[in-house]
Structure 1
Amino acid sequence: MTYREFTPDSRLQGLVRLYWEVEENHGPGEEEHRFMPERSVRLTFYAGESWHGSPVTGELGPMPAASLFGMTLAPLRVVSRGHTCALGVELYPWGARQLFGWDIGTASLDLLPEYGGVSREVCGLLDVQDWAGARARLEVWLLALHGERAREAGVGVQAATQLYRSLGTLRIGGLAAELELSPRQLERAFREEVGVTAKTLARLIRFEEVHNRLWLRPTTPLAPLAYALGFSDQAHLTREFRALSHMTPRAFTHFVRQHLYGERAEIESRLQHSALDHWGPDHWGPDHSGLDHSGLTGHGLANPRAGDPQVGPAQGFRSAASPPML
């Protein structure tokens, strides 16, 4: 697998966090992935054979060639076969709302009916592995949408930005008071501008932060982690993690240790100069200068065997989603 990240045009950075590319050869048979809930919304263009659905029901349907998806409260099961390529855009929720009218009730939006021309162009370029051409066409389209639909950040976006920067630990009442709003006014601004409630956004931010820290440091003690991220106690963290991932933190870290044993040194050496290894408020996000994690994965665990479920979403090699300065 090859995974790369790229910085968007500066005009888009208030709405778009990054672009990413994934190319993967699944070998004989099929390979299963699990995408965990995350704190961003993904716009994805896809070339290859994949199916997605709920890990609970077991029902799968074809993955759209171009889709908008994210901020679900349950894992997504994906089964892929053969050679696949994906070009993605990681959007802040207010970016997805301004550009595409997204809200938390949008489970998955197939872009082909409304944006068929650009969707087919980008996917066609992925088919012939013209990554630079696909990225360029995508960015021209996003800039056009930005020119037509982008709005100045209101108090809802300002509040959401502060939630990201606090890693989801700010209390809604305190946040409202800081912005000189009532809690009800703040929630209304959140729904209108961000497309998700403040409570749900904070919940997803904290979950992904726990996931990322345990992914990188599976021996991390849970009690101090719970305290650092504003959970009432370790039991509260465990309940939240299990509710959103359908597995306990212990089961997750056991899986990580089993599948990454012997690869930790390589991973640590790749991360030691990256902001991914820092969790304080002055270190947000990874290196976006065309970072190439060959052999690693931003969409699951590293070097999985065919048939192994990959327990890790798009945040596999990412730290906190870093909102722009507003």
Structure 2
Amino acid sequence: MQHQEFEPPSALRDTIKCFWYDRRDFGERQSSFAVLPDGYAEIIFHFGNPCSLLHNGVLQPLPSPFMMGLLNQPVIFYTKNRFEIIGIRCFPWTVFDLLGLPSGKDSVHIIDHPITQLQTTLAEWIQAGKLDEALAQIKQYFLDARLGVATDSMLAKAGVAMRAANGTMPVSQVAAAAHATVRTLERRFRKSAGYTVKDVSGLMRFEQVRNHLWLYPDANLAGLAHELGYTDQAHLSREFKRYSGTTPAAFARSITQPKGIKPRPE
């Protein structure tokens, strides 16, 4: 497995968390991997063997690119042999406005958008082993798109506050940081991201727990709950299971197992 992350140009840092590349070889047999929720929406270009989702008992290949929105449960993908991804990890309160796409609560969006026209050229760069050229083309596409989008200062300020607090800031304080009422902020946030401030904050906080357990599977959950603003350990465990489908303890145990649940690459 090969994984790399790349910082966005400065002009995109209020919109995009990072660009990333992942390469895996799953072998000849159909294999599955689970992606856990976090606080981002992602655009996924994939190359090599098709990537599929199970729908009504049948594997249905996904086109490239597709968008993975904010998840509230793990999503399981299937593939085999060589599989490569270029991902664009976006802040959910900006990506839909940036690309002119409607927000929604579907975990996987099949998108009809001019960005899909990049697939052929990107596939040629990837096939030739020229990742830098592929990334340069994607970055330029988003830089050009960014020029045509006015920044929503309210959402930008709210996003900065939420990120700084890792999702632990109450909605009233997020609204104060954005110089808005709670009602106005929630309305604008839902329109832009498809989710409320509280929804996204919960995902951001879950992401902190997930990442901490990924690095420190023996972490003290009571102490982690206190640090991240949960009421108590039981509250942390309920929220963790809500988003991951498993308990923190079971997740920690899975980390050392070859087929354990994996988060989105970080």
Tell me if both proteins adopt one fold, taking TM over 0.5 as the criterion: yes
- Residue aligning to 1:64: 63
Does the 8 Å contact 2:70/2:105 carry over to 1?
no
- Residue aligning to 1:43: 43
Alignment-mate amino acid for residue 27 of structure 2? G
- Residue aligning to 1:119: 119
Does the 8 Å contact 2:34/2:74 carry over to 1?
yes
Q: May I ask how many residue pairs the two structures share in their alignment?
A: 265
Does the 8 Å contact 1:156/1:190 carry over to 2?
yes
Q: By how many angstroms is 1:181 displaced?
A: 2.9
Q: How does 1:47-196 map to 2 (within 5 A)?
A: 47-53=47-53, 59-100=58-99, 101-111=101-111, 114-148=114-148, 150-196=149-195
Q: How does 1:1-326 map to 2 (within 5 A)?
A: 1-53=1-53, 59-100=58-99, 101-111=101-111, 114-148=114-148, 150-256=149-255, 258-259=256-257, 304=258, 308=259, 310-315=260-265, 318=266
Does the 8 Å contact 1:157/1:194 carry over to 2?
no
Alignment-mate amino acid for residue 251 of structure 2? F
Change (3 A) 1:165 1:102: farther
Does the 8 Å contact 1:12/1:146 carry over to 2?
yes
Question: For residues 178 and 113 of structure 1, what CA distance do their matches in structure 2 show?
Answer: 34
Question: For residues 6 and 63 of structure 1, what CA distance do their matches in structure 2 show?
Answer: 25
Q: By how many angstroms is 1:144 displaced?
A: 1.7
Change (3 A) 1:126 1:220: same
Secondary structure at 1:17 match in 2 = strand
> Any idea what the Cα deviations from partners look like across 1:289-310, whole Å, max 9, x if unmatched?
xxxxxxxxxxxxxxx4xxx3x4
Secondary structure at 1:32 match in 2 = strand
Q: By how many angstroms is 1:177 displaced?
A: 3.7
Change (3 A) 1:155 1:11: same
Secondary structure at 1:210 match in 2 = helix
Alignment-mate amino acid for residue 140 of structure 1? Q
Q: By how many angstroms is 1:191 displaced?
A: 2.1
The normalised TM-score by structure 2 is: 0.91
Question: RMSD of the alignment, in Å?
Answer: 2.1
Question: For residues 171 and 112 of structure 2, what CA distance do their matches in structure 1 show?
Answer: 38
Unmatched segments (≥5 aa) in structure 1: 260-303, 319-326
Does the 8 Å contact 1:226/1:234 carry over to 2?
yes
Change (3 A) 1:236 1:217: same
Unmatched segments (≥5 aa) in structure 2: none
The normalised TM-score by structure 1 is: 0.75
> Any idea what the Cα deviations from partners look like across 1:178-214, whole Å, max 9, x if unmatched?
4443221221232234442101011100111110001
- Residue aligning to 1:277: none
Question: For residues 112 and 122 of structure 1, what CA distance do their matches in structure 2 show?
Answer: 18
Does the 8 Å contact 1:160/1:194 carry over to 2?
no
> Any idea what the Cα deviations from partners look like across 1:74-101, whole Å, max 9, x if unmatched?
1010122001111111111133122223
